[in-house]
């Protein structure tokens, strides 16, 4: 699942289903409040796996560069530098990370394989198995996806990145986008998937007004724009049109 940025809410979702949840996999995009939220899953009595997304790797690139002008990775699909209006949020996150949190973030893998009852071996990644910035959607032609999936040796692929939940079949493989917990496109809410013995689409409503109030009380850069996106997200149709020029060729 993509989190943007409510790890505490994810933890609560898992607790609600604790009798049936044995592993929690968080596939990147937790960079926005990682410095203040990184301990929120510690009280869960189950394994939690974090994966790198483009945001985490962009934060690490910023932290490792001698100065901001020397940063060569922005986590963008085009490979171009991060647009200026996104940079304050990345700077703020990098500044808040504690000394011992940077190596922890750096150790996260890009992919994860788990054996899940009823599904077999499932591969988790942020965007695609080979890249954390590539884009594909439920409309991307299967012939473009097939080369990415051949030879993986898994029965299902779970990804995120585009903030839109879907499931589709590509050849013999199930391809699942888990959606976004904190910043979905489409209807507001928290979107995720429960795996095993089948794939279950999950969507959990929450108190949007309270979330907006609490977010508004923070100093997070661009918080008002984020709140508006949370309360009134763009439609799936709008985002599919926006992503089309950037999807896999």
| Residue 38 vs residue 91, higher pLDDT | 91
pLDDT digits (tens, 9 = 90+) for 74-122: 999 999 998 898 899 888 888 888 777 888 889 989 999 999 999 999 9
Q: Residue 16 pLDDT more than 60?
A: no
pLDDT at 30: 56
pLDDT at 80: 92
| Residue 138 vs residue 27, higher pLDDT | 138
pLDDT band per the 50, 70, 90 thresholds, residue 248: very high
pLDDT digits (tens, 9 = 90+) for 154-178: 999 999 999 999 999 999 999 999 9
SS (H, E, C) the chain: CECCCCHHHHHHHHHHCCCCCCCEEECCCCHHHHHHHCCCCCCCCCCEEECCCHHHHHHHHHHHCCCHHHCCCCCCCCCCCCCHHHHHHHHHHHHHCCCCHHHHHHCCCCEEEEEECCCEEEEEECCECCECCCECCCCCCHHHHHHHHCCCCCCEEEECCCCCCEEEEECCEEEEECCECCCCCCCCCEEEEEECCCEEEEEECCCHHHHHHHHHCCCCCCHHHHHHHHHCCCCHHHHHHHHHHHECC
What pTM value is reported for the model? 0.86
Q: Residue 20 pLDDT more than 70?
A: no
Domains and CATH numbers, the chain: 7-50+107-246 (3.60.21.10)
Average pLDDT over residues 52-64: 90
Asked if 109 contacts 133 with a C-beta cutoff of 8 angstroms, the reply is no
**Residue 28 region by backbone torsions, left for phi larger than 0, else alpha for psi between -120 and 50, else beta:** left
Cβ-Cβ contacts under 8 Å for 170 (sequence gap 6 or more): 142, 145, 146, 149
Q: Residue 21 pLDDT more than 80?
A: no
Asked if 95 contacts 124 with a C-beta cutoff of 8 angstroms, the reply is no
């Amino acid at each position: 699942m993509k989190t943007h940025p409510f790890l505490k809410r994810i933890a609560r979702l898992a607790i609600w289903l604790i009798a049936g949840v044995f592993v929690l996999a968080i596939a990147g995009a937790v960079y926005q409040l990682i410095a203040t939220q990184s301990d929120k899953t510690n009280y869960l009595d189950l394994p939690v796996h974090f994966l790198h997304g483009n945001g985490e790797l962009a934060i690490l690139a910023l932290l490792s560069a001698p100065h901001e002008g020397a940063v060569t990775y922005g986590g963008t699909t085009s490979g171009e530098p991060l647009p200026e209006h996104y940079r304050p949020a990345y700077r703020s996150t990098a500044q808040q990370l504690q000394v011992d949190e940077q190596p922890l973030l750096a150790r996260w893998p890009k992919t994860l394989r788990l054996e899940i009852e009823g599904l077999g071996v499932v591969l988790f990644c942020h965007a695609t198995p080979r890249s954390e910035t590539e884009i594909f959607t439920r409309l991307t032609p299967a012939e473009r996806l097939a080369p990415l999936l051949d030879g993986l040796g898994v029965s299902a692929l779970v990804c995120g990145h585009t903030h839109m939940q879907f499931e589709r079949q590509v050849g013999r493989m199930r391809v699942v986008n888990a959606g976004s917990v904190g910043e979905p496109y489409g209807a507001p809410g928290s979107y995720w998937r429960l795996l095993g013995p089948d794939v279950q689409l999950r969507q959990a409503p929450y108190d949007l007004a309270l979330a907006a109030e609490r977010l508004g009380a923070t100093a997070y850069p661009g918080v008002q724009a984020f709140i508006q996106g949370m309360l009134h997200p763009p439609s799936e149709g709008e985002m599919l049109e926006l992503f089309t020029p950037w999807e896999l060729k």
